[in-house]
Amino acid sequence: MQNPERATPFRLSSLRVGLVLLLMGCTRWESYEVPPAPAPPLPSYLRVSAPGRSSAVLVHPFVRLDTLYGRSGGDTLGFALPVVGQVERPRLDGLRTAAVVVGSLGAWIGLGLVMAARED
């Protein structure tokens, strides 16, 4: 028989992972035009694509001279603005959010019905 104290941390971590996955379903990437250096601050996250390189998500990006810098995977990356192919920022998508809410609600109801049918 399982110890109830051991099952609780596993359930909590599973719940956190599920919540993160649900929230990821609510966002999409939207094109973003990088302003000149003295402009207002950049968004907290930017996805940058350059020819010949895979895209990278930059955390706390900033512009110095003609280069876009940011943290990605523990490293600081720099992209020369003239060769950047595409810059995108995350945006909340209402339609995806509604689909995630309705889908997850349906899944929980379905799971409840299956569990109730098993008990009978």
Q: What is the pLDDT of residues 54-76, one digit of tens each?
A: 889 999 999 888 899 999 988 99
CA angle 53, 58, 60 (to 5 degrees): 155
Is residue 116 one of the residues assigned to a domain? no
Q: Is 119 a member of any domain?
A: no
Rounded to an integer, the average pLDDT of 113-120 is: 85
Within a domain: 70: yes
Domain count within the chain:
1
d(CA 88, CA 45): 9
Report if residue 99 sits inside a domain. Answer: yes
Residues β-bridged to residue 75 = 72
Burial annotation 86-116 (CB, 10 A radius, 16+ → b, else e): ebbbbeebeeeeeebeeeeeeeeeeeeeeee
Residue 82: give the domain boundaries: 4-107
pTM for the whole structure: 0.56
Residue 118 maps to a domain: no
Residue 29 has pLDDT above 90, yes or no: no
